[in-house]
Copies of this chain bind each other. A is one copy, B any other.
Amino acid sequence: MSSIINFRRGNAYETLHFPEDAPTHECGIFGMWAPQRDVAQETFFALVALQHRGQESAGIAAAAEDGLHLYRATGLVGDVFTPEIIEHLYGHAAIGHVRYSTTEDRAGDALNAQPLMIRYQHGELALSFNGSIVNAAALRRHLESLGSIFQSSLDCEVFAHLIARSSATILEDALQEAVAQVQGGYAIIFLTADRLIALRDPHGIRPLTLGMLGGHYLVSSESCAFDTLGGSYLREVAPGEMVTISAQGLQSRQGLTPAVPPSLCAFEHIYFARPDSDIEGVNTHFMRKRLGAALVQEAHLEVDVISGVPDSSISAAIGYAEASGVPFEMALIKNRYLGRTFIKPTQEQRELAVKLKLNPVRKLVEGKRVLLVDDSIVRGTTMRYIIHLLREVGATEVHVRITSPPYRYPCYFGIDTSARGDLIASNRSVEEIREAIEADSLYYLDIETITRLMGNEGLSLCLACFNGNYPVSVPGSH
């Protein structure tokens, strides 16, 4: 049992991170209040269902009569927990977390695993957080200047300190004060001995959903966790709503702050969520098929083979194929077992990493015009190499269709896309991007198309990564 802080990283090898040419996932959160059930065991299964939202660390905190019990560690949910650990996490309620680091330093940073747990003047408190607090640094400096000591580099620890310093005696009041000071996009679940509180930022940038299981309440980033447990979807936690679940049932506070228009992160539907999840009541697989179909209307082209980049773009490619009448194909086969495979950090082995993960089916591609559907292009290096691979096995043309607009502006609300300079679209025209990735043609969906298609389903979006209009003003971003 050990902890390492602040280590330099100087290894001659690196673990092969899946080179998705897409924004990296962020976090998944889950909570349940179910005195008659095995809450840790079910939270464990829910986290397995949410694993696509974060593979770096996992944790569960459970509330029992003798206090809160916590276990968290780096690794996949199935590796982190053992039956013995789950048995120790008994109780009447639990919250869980899966995490993909949103910061630079990912080196086994066990201290930044969640749930975060504190003991403060009113007892014990655990929290699971998804998103980002844009004024976290300023709040932290202010709290430190008052003498607070932070135990992690997590944004969400400012919530803990604001609560700990509040003079309010009711937790919900302290939280309401905190929400007024915190700016950002987040969904958060708190657990104390006697209640579970779910909270979503006023803009509703990150999703949070309520479900039911055998008469008990569930809270989850995505509805697929409810399906896994055999539960059912109830409703969304509304932007700016605080929901308390306790022995007294469910209570809600709304309008914690002055009303603002909702701004759900557009990438939840485009890329993050599992296809079988509903986000704000809209099924993700269907929405992706619609985005794919829209590409046919806007920029169809006669080709021989239509393929998605597995796995995230399969839904969109099916939509494109269905709308175009050209059969869907699997031109790229994905290796499902990469795990902790390591490579040397050389250009040669980085290219080999793409091949280890994605191998084209030569007989499908040889002598053919190929149209690739993908959800986004972030740095462009992987896409360029995939196109290279396809040409190597004989593709005569490779066309690229993207189900989102160019990703031009960094996200400050929980998605890890390095600095703006790394974004291939930040200072390039579509034609320049096409040249950079060496495609025969390239087309992105218009912002208007996204807005219209999702708007038809009642979604009001944050599109800041496409247009730079951040729903919350970000310190130092201009």
Q: Residues on A close to B: CB < 8 A?
A: 1-8, 11-13, 16, 45, 48-49, 51-52, 55, 66-74, 76-83, 85, 88, 108, 110, 113, 117-121, 141, 144-151, 160-161, 164-166, 224, 227-230, 274-276, 283, 285-286, 311, 314-315, 318, 321-322, 327-330, 333, 335-342, 352, 355-356, 359-364
Contacts and interface: CB of A to CB of B under 8 A. Distances in A.
The winner among A45, A337, A338 for most chain B CB atoms within 10 A is A337
B3 A359 contact: no
Contacts of A110: 1-3
Contact of A2 (B71, B88, B120, B228): B71
Given A78-B342, A118-B149, A228-B359, A6 B70 contact: yes
Contacts of A69: 5-8
B1 A2 contact: yes
22 contacts: A3-B71, A3-B72, A4-B88, A5-B69, A5-B70, A77-B341, A78-B337, A78-B340, A78-B342, A121-B147, A147-B164, A147-B165, A147-B166, A149-B149, A227-B355, A228-B356, A229-B352, A283-B363, A285-B364, A314-B330, A315-B330, A318-B329
B147 A339 contact: no
A274 B333 contact: yes
B285 A70 contact: no
A119 B149 contact: yes
A56 B356 CA distance: 20
Nearest to A51: B337
B276 A341 contact: no
B150 A119 contact: yes
A287 to B, nearest CB: 10
Contacts of A3: 1, 3, 70-73, 110, 113
Given A45-B352, A149-B149, A318-B330, 6 more contacts: A3-B110, A3-B113, A6-B68, A52-B335, A228-B359, A230-B355
A116 to B, nearest CB: 10
Contacts of A141: 121
A416 to B, nearest CB: 18
A457 to B, nearest CB: 12
Contact of A83 (B74, B321, B328, B342): B342
A337 to B, nearest CB: 4
Copies of this chain per assembly: 4
- What are the 3 A-B residue pairs with the smallest beta carbon separation, nearest first? A147-B165, A2-B73, A78-B339
A227 B393 CA distance: 10
Given A1-B3, A311-B336, A337-B52, A8 B356 contact: no
Contacts of A276: 333, 359-362
A248 B74 CA distance: 42
Contact of A356 (B12, B48, B52, B275): B48
A83 B149 contact: no
A48 B4 CA distance: 20
Contacts of A275: 330, 333, 361
A8 B89 CA distance: 9
A350 to B, nearest CB: 13
A1 B327 contact: no
Contacts of A1: 2-4, 73-74, 108, 110
Given A7-B88, A149-B120, A337 B2 contact: no
Contact of A321 (B80, B151, B327): B327
A4 to B, nearest CB: 6
Nearest to A121: B144
A45 B16 CA distance: 12
B337 A48 contact: yes
The winner among A13, A77, A121 for most chain B CB atoms within 10 A is A121
A164 B141 CA distance: 12
A359 to B, nearest CB: 5
Given A318-B330, A355-B228, A341 B147 contact: no
A75 to B, nearest CB: 8
B164 A49 contact: no
Given A72-B3, A78-B338, A276-B361, A149 B160 contact: yes
A463 B55 CA distance: 42
The winner among A2, A82, A144 for most chain B CB atoms within 10 A is A2
A222 to B, nearest CB: 11
A468 to B, nearest CB: 33
A31 B7 CA distance: 20
Nearest to A84: B13
